[in-house]
Amino acid sequence: MKVISSINAFKEARHKIDGSVGFVPTMGYLHEGHLVLVRHAKAENQVAVASIFVNPTQFGPKEDFARYPRDTERDLALLAKEKTDMVFMPPAEEMYPQGFGTWVDVAKVTEVLEGAVRPGHFRGVATVVTKLFNIVEPTRAYFGQKDAQQVVVIKKIVADLDMNLDVVVVPTQREPDGLAMSSRNVYLNSEERQAALVLWKSLNLARQICSQGERRTENVRQQMTSLIQKEPLARIDYISIAHTETLEELAEIQLPALVSLAVYVGKTRLIDNIILRS
């Protein structure tokens, strides 16, 4: 497994590759959700590439950039075990050198949900992903459905800027009790870890209500809210029932629909989602 930290060195190595390249961009502190993406990249391409880069430009001033979990040695061991071919691991000054001043802004789909409560977040995501795609030149790039809005944004970048790659979305990986796998789960103590199950329970409630014929989103949202409010450690940031591509809120559920939420459990902010299908 080659580990490369320089953009120029990576480009040089990339140009020696014949055949398809599957790419998994990560911020490290890998879990099974990331490794499933790597397995897809490995199975569906001749070369599998992962990146590890905690991108400072997608964190707000009051967010957890400084304390975001990091364990590079463990990450590299996990990637080696999956037989990843190459790992791109640049320092921040390599990605954002002095004088850097070009940003990728995606309109509309970044202005709601996470974008509404995390100003500038998707500008950072869109810029770093565009840079990584330019450096890695993947045939296919792999993302988890857990970050549903990020997936919509990245698909739009690829379509709008005529990028020559496929975005492959892999279902959210969950713990046996349903909690969506996330690097931030490490912040939860045992009591909070149990309380965090309320996200998955509320999404399942939405699915159940919808399957029984309810189509008014306000009714679904109210029942989800009532369930979450019974958990004393949980505080709702938002609950959304939206169009899967435009992310516009729906008054009446039209399938498919994206049900997503952000909930604070203790001090940790967790997100999750499901897609309601016919």
CB 52 within 8 A of CB 72: yes
Instruction: Give, in degrees to the nearest 5, the angle at Cα 164 between 159 and 169.
Output: 65
CB 89 within 8 A of CB 49: no
Helix H or strand E encompassing 52? strand 47-52
Which is nearest to 196 in space by CA: 231, 221, 241, 172?
231
The residues pairing with 86 across neighbouring beta strands, listed in sequence order, are 2, 49
Burial 243-257 (b: 16+ CB within 10 A, else e): ebeebeebeebeeeb
Residue 120 burial by Cβ neighbours in a 10 Å radius (0-12, 13-18, 19+): middle
- SS (HEC) of 198-215: HHHHHHHHHHHHHHCCCC
CB 257 within 8 A of CB 243: yes
List, by residue number, the catalytic residues.
Answer: 34
- CA torsion sign for 212, 214, 217, 221 is negative
Residue 190 burial by Cβ neighbours in a 10 Å radius (0-12, 13-18, 19+): exposed
User: Strand pairing of 2-4 and 86-88?
Assistant: parallel
